[in-house]
Each structure stands twice: as structure tokens, then as C-alpha cells.
Amino acid sequence: MATMQRLQNTGLELFYAQGYYDTSIDDILKKLDLSKGAFYYHFDSKEDYFIQIIQNLLARKIYSTLIEPIEGHDNPLTLITKCFDDAMETAVHNEMDYGCILSNFLTEFNGKNEVIMRHLNEIVTVWEVNLVTTLQKGKFNGYLDRHVDCEAAATFLMSSYFGVRTLMTSAAPSAKKYRFMSQLRQYFKSIEAKSVNS
Amino acid sequence: MATMQRLQNTGLELFYAQGYYDTSIDDILKKLDLSKGAFYYHFDSKEDYFIQIIQNLLARKIYSTLIEPIEGHDNPLTLITKCFDDAMETAVHNEMDYGCILSNFLTEFNGKNEVIMRHLNEIVTVWEVNLVTTLQKGKFNGYLDRHVDCEAAATFLMSSYFGVRTLMTSAAPSAKKYRFMSQLRQYFKSIEAKSVNS
DNA sequence: GGTAAATCCGACCATGTGGTCTCTTTATAG
DNA sequence: CTATAAAGAGACCACATGGTCGGATTTACC
């Protein structure tokens, strides 16, 4: 694999596990057995490096795990349930889970680096727009109750997912997942379309 | 005010705003016009310093904003609604809001400092226990539906609160708050006791 | 007033950081 | 084979960090 790819992959891995500010370039280079020269040949600075990682790896990762799985014409509530379940199941089985990578970076850079924050917020916006659209389509197709505020539901869903991934890192991730999913279903039941054949 | 108190207060302030690892002791000392000698007279190390801040300030802060307000014999759903609303309203009006302080520190120290994580998780547990107890009491008093899983509801509530506070830091905190609260009420409506006088 | 303890000062140290620069190696093309 | 550019090595720099230490200053108490 090309050096540049290896640098980005290892960078994302370490930044996720240890945080951006607590991971030195030397850490990454040591792990890959590379030198400063190799790094600064491919990237202008640590910040430039991270921004490329965001665009090349993080954005795709979020897309493939949280956005693409909820696309389709089926019941959005079913799709979202399965999507969250899968994402959390992956986390449960990952002994090196440090929470939602996007949420973690949002927390770390908030108020510290506006440039990076803009790139991260862009990903958040894409997710939000897709969620809202999917929910609206679901409403149009008769899966959701007519009175549902789709923007509000999207915010609620994103919030709860970010939060539960943080909570899961503390203790008993499997139990946390189970409890979360049960209440997510409860919430979904309250916004789904009321049965017409009464 | 005593030097030790000033150090702790300013420390919490800066650690919250900039993060623990990105705030140097010199930053804090400069702001207070103190010297290294003063600092290391009162504290053994940066870590010891932070642990004392957790126990003396952070724990009380969480207690007074998230735990104490939901104590009482009224409808717990009403109390929690008001508690979250108040906490988020404070955040909205604070131009220097960086999300839920507890959630932020959990994210920052996860996988990096086990000692500090234990102290933080202790606070999380206290919050959780109080929430569960309050919900169970509410169920006993006929405010919640008999079938509600109180542990699950508590996890769901903590998750969503952590998450929305993270989301609020990105953009449009007021709108996020409004949307979140509307769906929280929706969720609460689905777990409240069904009307008896049918 | 004197003494001792509490409090604080600030120079200093070892270490680690992001980043630069010169030089060497390796591939590519004619 | 050779000229040329891409790719990488690693010594080096300026600076920041957590922490130490001997000394100065203030406070409390007899």
C-alpha cells in the first residue's frame, strides 16, 4: 500500500484511540517505521494531514455506517433501527471501542480549531439532511404519523446515538445497547403511523 | 478567596473550555498571576489537581444541575422535562458553551487515564442510580406505565442528553433544544401511565 | 520581637513537540 | 547508462510542557 494511504489509515486509528492533540506525529511514524521526511513530503502540516483524513476516511466511514444503510424505500423506522443496532453491535464486539468517532472529534475540536470544526460539521449536516429526508419520505409513504416533526426527530435520533456511544464506553456496553434499543423502539412506536384498520 | 479555591475554579473553567491535555499549568497560573511554586505547594501533580477538581467542583455541579432537580414526589417525567429544559436553556444563553462537561471529560479521558475515568464514571453512576430510582418511584406512584423498563429509560435519557449537548455546540443551539424537547415529550407521552378514566 | 510553619516565587531541568533542512536512495524515462 | 524527479532518512531547531528546588515572604503564635 502506498505510504500516503498507510499514514492516513494509521493516523485515523491513533487519533481515534488517543485523540488528536495527544497523538504526536512521531507516534504515527514510529508505528509505521517511517521518518519525518516521509511525512512532510506528503503533508503540509499536522492539521492539513488531519483534514485529509477527515475527507478521505472519516466522511466515508460515517456515510457507509450511518447514512447509506438508511437509504431505500422501506419503512425508515425499521431501517434506522437496524442501522443503529448494527453500528452498536460492531462497537460491542470491538474491545477497542472509544465511542462514536465523529462525536469524539466534535468534542475535541469544539472551540479549539474552527477549520477542522467546519469539516466535521459538514459531515454532521450531511447525516442530518439524509435523516430528515428519509423521515419525510417515510411520512409521505405512510410509515410515520402525519404530525411528526421530522427535523425534530432527526435531532433526537442523532443526539441519542451520539450519547449512547459515549455511555457505552464506560461500562457494560452490551446492556447499554439493549436498553437503548428497547427505548428507541418505544419512541418509534409513538411516532409511527396509527393503524388505519381500527 | 483562598489560592487553592481559585486554582480549582480556574482549572475547571479552562479544562472545560480547552480540554485537559490542551491546557497547560502555565495557562492557569498566568490567568491567576501565580507561580509554579504556588501550584505545586497545593497539588502533587496535574492529575492530582484534576481529580480534586472532579470531586470538589464537578461532582457538585452535576448534582445540582442534573440530580437534585429531579428529586421529589411529583411526576418524574415533569421533573426531568423541566430539569433538561433548564440545563439546556443555560447552555443556550452561554456564549461559551462547550457541551456537557461530564460527557466531554468522559470522551477525553476514555482509554487514556483509567484513574480519572473511574472518578468520572462514579459521577455517571450516581446520576444513573438517581434517575432509575426516581423513575421507579414514579411508576409506583402511578405516573409511569406499568411496563416501563426504568433502567432502559434512564440509559435512553442520559444518552440523549449527552448527545444533544454535543450537537448544540455545533450550530443553532436554540433550535436544537426546541426540537429535542419536543421529541422528549413525545417519548415521555409514550411511557406515561395510560389514562384510567376511559 | 522572634521563631517556625505555611505560602509563594521563579529559575531551572528533562523531555517531547511540530516543523525544517540537507542529504541519500529509489524509481522513471529517454 | 544516465539525467531527473519522486520519495524518504534523520539530524537539527525553537518552543512548550510537567515538574523540581532553593530561597524569599508572609502569617500565626508564644
What's the mean per-residue pLDDT of chain A? 96
Q: Strand C closer than 7 Å to the CB of B21?
A: no
Contact A186 B190 (CB under 8 A): yes
Average pLDDT over all residues of chain B: 96
Cβ neighbors of B178 (< 8 A, separation 6 or more) are A152
Which residue on chain A is closest to B165 by alpha carbon?
A: A159
Q: Mention the CATH class of domain B1-43.
A: mainly alpha
The number of angstroms, rounded, from the C-alpha of A146 to the middle of its chain's C-alpha atoms is: 29
Q: Locate the domains of chain B by residue range.
A: 1-43, 54-191
How many Cα atoms sit within 13 Å of B197 on the Cβ side? 0
Q: How far is CA A17 from CA A31, A65, A96, B167, in A?
A: 14, 19, 8, 21
Residue B127 C-alpha from the chain's centroid: 9
| pLDDT classification of A198: cutoffs 50, 70, 90 | very low
Say how far B29 CA is from C2 C1', in Å. Answer: 34
Give the nucleotide with minimal C1' distance to the Cα of B39: C8
List of chain B residues whose C-beta atoms are within 8 Å of the C-beta of residue A161:
159, 163
Question: Hey, are the CB atoms on B112 and A19 less than 8 Å from each other?
Answer: yes
From chain A, the residues in CB contact with B163 under 8 A are 103, 158-164, 166
pLDDT tens-place string over residues A65-119: 999 999 989 999 999 999 999 999 999 999 999 999 999 999 999 999 999 999 9
Which chain A residue has its CA at the smallest distance from B97's CA? A111
Give strand pairing partners of B192.
Answer: B144
Q: Does A19 touch chain B (CB under 8 A)?
A: yes
Q: Which pLDDT score is estimated for B197?
A: 56
Domain A53-191: CATH class, spelled out: mainly alpha
pLDDT higher than 60, residue A129: yes
Q: What is the pLDDT of residue B194?
A: 84
Report CA torsion sign: A65, A67, A72, A74: positive
Looking up cell 411508576 gives B139
Q: Which residues of A touch B160 (CB under 8 A)?
A: 156, 159-160, 163
Task: Check CB contact of A46 with chain B, cutoff 8 Å.
Answer: no
User: Is A173 a residue whose pLDDT tops 80?
Assistant: yes
Q: Which nucleotide is nearest to B4 (CA to C1')?
A: C7
Q: Which CATH class is domain B54-191?
A: mainly alpha
Interface test with A, best of B155, B158, B174 (most A CBs within 10 A): B155
Q: Left (φ > 0), alpha (ψ -120 to 50) or beta: where does B33 sit? A: left
Q: Is 60 exceeded by the pLDDT of residue B152?
A: yes
**Which candidate, A62, A65, A153, A41, places its Cα nearest to that of A104?**
A62
Q: Which residues on B lie below 8 Å from A15 (Cβ)?
A: none
Residue B198 is predicted with a pLDDT of 45
